[in-house]
Amino acid sequence: MGFAAIARVTEDRWICCASRDQINFGLGAGGELKIETTICNEIRQSGEGVIIDHVSNDAVYCGHPTPAMYGFQSYISLPIRRSDGSMFGTFCAIDPEPKRVNTPEVVGTFTLFAELIASQLDTMQRADEAELKLLNERRTAELREQFLAVLSHDLRNPLAAMSSGVRLLEKGAEPGSERYEILQLMGNAAQRMTSLINDLMDLARTRLGGLGLPTSPSTVQLAPVLEQVVNELRASHPSRVVELDLRIPREVHCDAARIGQLFSNLLGNAVAHGSKDHPVRVTAGINGLALELSVSNANAGEPIPDHVMARLFEPFARGPQRHSEGLGLGLYIASEIAKAHGGTLQASSTALETRFTFPHADREWERVRPRVACCLFHPLTRSHAHDVRTVQSSRHLVAGSCRFALLSR
């Protein structure tokens, strides 16, 4: 056929989308015909294709005005139907000479092309819809995170005022009195709220700015920082036992506050999800050029499920046990702290242990080349027979006896 086209056909327009012209018909992409002068308009109304081998010999179309207007003797046009049943247009062809087009081979070829065109149109529409949906979800997520950032920021001042008022009132209350106990409860609640707000602020910093968590590394004594974290956990979970073994004779180059926060999140995770019948074991010491910090807790012998591991470092992610009081940001923030120190917190889990590993190369610390590890391992695989301080505290870690490792080279 001398001229073929893919046409968009509506009630009032015939628009050429693409064409192949070997007879100088003169119609390219974007060109239009008056809809009422086309046979495609009749196809739109009937939903059936039209095939003509020789107009002059065709009983139906021999006197039709369209062939005379456009100068063709052979014609084929099939509807392009979308998956929802709607008609997009037609795949049509004409030639000034008679042609045998009403054959199974030709009709089959045109039918196949019409179906392929419809399929491609459906695919393009789905892609456009998916892109639009993704864009809308991104905008919604940005607005949500902006809202969290503004909300958490605006809550800090009234919460700080409330905490100051509670501390002031505690000074005038007699220890052991009902008033003192109520103020203690209020103070603890304010501390939990402060922790939640700080987590939301960190989430906002990592998600909105795209620059990660801010850090202020320096050369510090890390042992007092870790001891403080354990003491805070002991105060909030007095029924749990924590065994602490620290051997850090030298200073460490890092952001002590952030590493303390990372350690607190991992330790809190151990207490929240680990076995209540076994102590949480914490060890830290220098091994060659490495500072090794480990936290261990027993479990029922089951590894963390794969579907949980896949989302372990995502914000608001939680395992099958959801009794903890936090927002599900602890491991996410720990991972972001690892990134802020130039590394990546990685996780692996078996029936005996779950390990979180953070390799960190610090060029400013060539003398020490820190290797920090926070490991959760099966308590029976290793003993601590020396200089062990036992601390009381409470609750339970992600399923399984787990091992966390935070490594810095």
Eight-state DSSP code of residue 373: B
Q: CATH number of the domain that 40 lies in?
A: 3.30.450.40
Question: Once rounded to an integer, what is the mean pLDDT over residues 226-240?
Answer: 85
Contact 260, 228 (CB under 8 A): yes
Is 80 exceeded by the pLDDT of residue 259?
A: yes
**If you average pLDDT over each of 72-86, 196-210, 277-291, which comes out highest?**
72-86
Task: Indicate the number of domains in the chain.
Answer: 3
Quick one: pLDDT at residue 93? 94
Which is more confidently placed, 327 or 196? 196
Distance CA 111, CA 109 (A): 5
Among 154, 185, 209, give the residue marking a domain's end. 209
DSSP reduced 3-state for 258: helix
Look at residue 405 in the predicted model and tell me its pLDDT. Answer: 42
pLDDT class of 320 with cuts at 50, 70, 90:
low
**Is the model's pLDDT at 78 over the cut of 90?**
yes
- Asked if 185 and 328 sit in the same domain, the reply is no
For residues 253 and 203, membership in a common domain is answered with: no
On whether residue 295 sits in a domain, the answer given is: yes
Which residues in 87-209 belong to E strands, given as ranges? 87-95
Asked whether residue 400 carries a pLDDT value surpassing 80, the answer given is no
Given a cut of 50, whether residue 231 has pLDDT beyond it is: yes
Domain that holds residue 147: 128-209
114 inside domain: no
Query: Rounded to whole angstroms, how far apart are CA atoms 409 and 407?
Result: 7
Q: In what order do the strands lie in the sheet with 50-52?
A: 32-33, 14-21, 3-9, 87-95, 74-81, 50-52
Whether 163 shows a pLDDT value over 90: the answer reads no
Q: Are residues 373 and 256 in the same domain?
A: yes
> Based on the domain organization, do 280 and 387 belong to the same domain?
yes
For residue 3, is pLDDT > 80? yes
Going from the C-alpha of 196 to that of each of 146, 202, 230, 233, 312, the distances in angstroms are: 16, 10, 19, 16, 19
- How high is the mean pLDDT of the chain? 77
191 with 272, same domain?
no
pTM: 0.52
Question: Does 381 score more than 70 pLDDT?
Answer: no
**What is the pLDDT confidence band of residue 327, given thresholds at 50, 70 and 90?**
low
pLDDT band at 289 (very low <50, low <70, confident <90, very high): low
